[in-house]
Structure 1
Amino acid sequence: MSNPLTLVALSTQTITVELEKALKQHCLALGFSLTPLMESVQQQGYFSARWSMPAAPLPEARHALREIAAGHHADLAFLSSTYQPHAVRVLCMDMDSTLINIECIDEIAQYAGKKAAVAEITEATMRGEIKDFKDSLRRRVALLAGIPETVLESVYQERLQLNPGATELLSTANERGLHTLLVSGGFTFFTEKLKHTLRFKQAQANTLEIIDGKLTGKVLGEIVDGAAKAHYLQDACQRMQCQKIHSITMGDGSNDLLMMHGSGISVAYKAKSIVKEKADAVFDHVGLDAALLLMH
């Protein structure tokens, strides 16, 4: 017998009776029932409602339920019965297109007139079409050779913005004593600044080689790929004397999947389809801080 799940709807608008009816009708068609766990509540600018499901729906059913919710401007999370919100000790996040609004490497490339070439590789990699992230990153970074290092600061000041809810999420997570970890296949120039600004406890990323004030087109040291992200999360959990199930992970691309797999809640933020299919929660309408509602 499958373990029960908690189905959570999250929205910036009131959770309507019409949404609940549509979700229930679809579940009934699949032979499931939805039992209300709480009335719609408002917190941190979001509305949420919870229902109990007797068993985990198949991926196709999850997709259909999310499509129904999207039609009502809501996102859905499927929480396992083994998830214990008060036991969460680690928050682990990707940077590019998750914590922030851009892919930094694409914006750096734009200054050299190579954004289209770099972005094409980036998109294929994030969709999972290019399997070797290390090779993908080396190919993209090679296209940056000769760009002045001052461009990095220009990207940070002029292009980079935090995604909605980032400040609120990190502030509350730090107040609760969580180990906040930023893991990125991007670059330390940006992760270190964000670590300081948002008070991440730890940040891991790739270091661009710079000689005589210009990027050489090379990365120093071992490349942070999907396996490395998962390793850094596991290490953080060991430091906090907890298991991976006591973590919340957030990402948007295929190289986040290893990190996200097996965590207490995996959140796909405005993510690629391959990530949405596997994540516990998909955030397309709410901000990053809506994850706080899943920690109660």
Structure 2
Amino acid sequence: MPSTPARFLVVLDADSTLIRNEVIELIADEAGRGAEVAAATEAAMRGEVDFATSLRSRVQALAGVPVERFSRILERIEPTPGVVDLISGVHERGGLVGVVSGGFHEILDVVAPSLGVDMWRANRLTVEGGVLAGTVEGTIVDAAVKAASLREWAAEHGVPSSRTVAIGDGANDLQMMSAAGLGVAFNAKPTVRAQADLVIGPVDLREVLPLLP
């Protein structure tokens, strides 16, 4: 039996969807490698390279960043315009909001609850001696894990797939968008816009409200 029956489920990507930033680039700035990591992130989001392989390579560039810098990184996080209104609107209509991210729990564990997100999943960075080790713990949250998370949360809360909405911007969101009843490209790369059920142009998540079941 579902633990908390819900009318519908909305699942968002985090970086460049829930928030304006790409968190890995903010962390890389602390290592003096922001431009290098930003270029690699852009290629991954366009689908030009395997996401997991790219992520491992980019995380290596973060080695040596002290975890105490996360407080400074959190200060730079910018929620996407309209995100609070969207989440409030989902809750008012009896729905739930999930976030599944190729980014990191270290940031999302603070940002997600502050915005009212109900559940979230992300990667976790390895820390040794108070600094980043340059590796990721456990299974990487890639396209397949994103899709599986949407299905898992829908089943857990008694939501049929037809009443799920997935919102993303990068190639690693496509499987999740395909698994959902409605896949929405938001602030998205061309390959994602081409394959989405619906494309939202304005970078304002309030644009999603009329689409809710």
**Fold shared by both chains (TM-score > 0.5):** yes
Q: Does 2:55 match 1:137?
A: yes
Residue 29 of structure 2 aligns to which amino acid in structure 1?
Q
**1:173-184 to 2 correspondence within 5 Å?**
173-184=90-101
State the shift of 1:240 in Å.
Answer: 2.2
State the distance in 2 between where 1:140 and 1:177 align: 39
Give the C-alpha shift of residue 179 in structure 1: 2.3
Q: Secondary structure at the match of 1:167?
A: helix
C-alpha root-mean-square deviation of aligned residues, in Å? 1.4
Correspondent of 1:214 among 118, 122, 131:
131
User: What amino acid sits opposite 1:135 in the alignment?
Assistant: T
Segment of structure 1 superposing worse, 238-247 or 198-207 = 238-247
Q: 1:177-256 residue pairs with structure 2 within 5 A?
A: 177-256=94-173
Is the 2:20–2:78 Cα contact (8 Å) retained in structure 1? yes
Q: Any stretches of 5+ residues in structure 2 without a counterpart?
A: 1-5
Query: Taking structure 1 as the reference length, what is the TM-score of the superposition?
Result: 0.68
Q: Provide the rounded CA distance (Å) in 2 between the counterparts of 1:291 and 1:275.
A: 17
Question: Is 1:119 matched up with 2:30?
Answer: no
Partner of 2:18: 99
After TM superposition, give the deviation of residue 177 of structure 1 in Å.
2.6
Secondary structure of the structure 2 residue equivalent to 1:242:
coil
Query: In structure 2, what is the Cα distance between the partners aligned to 1:237 and 1:176?
Result: 16
Q: Over alpha carbons, which structure has the higher Rg?
A: 1
The percent of aligned pairs where both chains have the same amino acid is 40
CA contact (8 A) 1:109 1:143 kept: yes
Q: Is the 8 A contact 1:174 1:199 kept in 2?
A: no
Q: Is the 8 A contact 2:187 2:203 kept in 1?
A: no
2:183 alignment partner AA: S
- Partner-residue secondary structure (3-state), 1:203: strand
Letter in 2 for 1:115: G
CA distance in 2, matches of 1:174, 1:211: 39
User: What residue number does 2:9 align with?
Assistant: 90
CA separation in 2, counterparts of 1:285 and 1:134? Answer: 29
User: Is 103-112 or 250-259 further displaced after alignment?
Assistant: 103-112
Distance across 2 between alignment mates of 1:140 and 1:88: 39
Letter in 1 for 2:87: L
- The alpha-carbon deviation at position 286 of structure 1 amounts to 5.2
For residues 186 and 142 of structure 1, what CA distance do their matches in structure 2 show? 14
TM-score normalized with structure 2 length = 0.93
Is 2:82 the partner of 1:161?
Answer: no
Q: Distance in 1 between matches of 2:13 and 2:119?
A: 12
The alpha-carbon deviation at position 295 of structure 1 amounts to 2.2
Query: Unaligned regions of 5+ residues in structure 1, if any?
Result: 1-86
Distance in 2 separating the partners of 1:194 and 1:174:
18
The higher relative CO (CA closer than 8 Å, separation ≥ 6) is in: 2
Displacement over 4 Å in runs of 4+ = none
The CA distance in 1 between the partners of 2:113 and 2:203, in whole Å, is 25
* C-alpha deviation, 1:88, in angstroms: 5.5
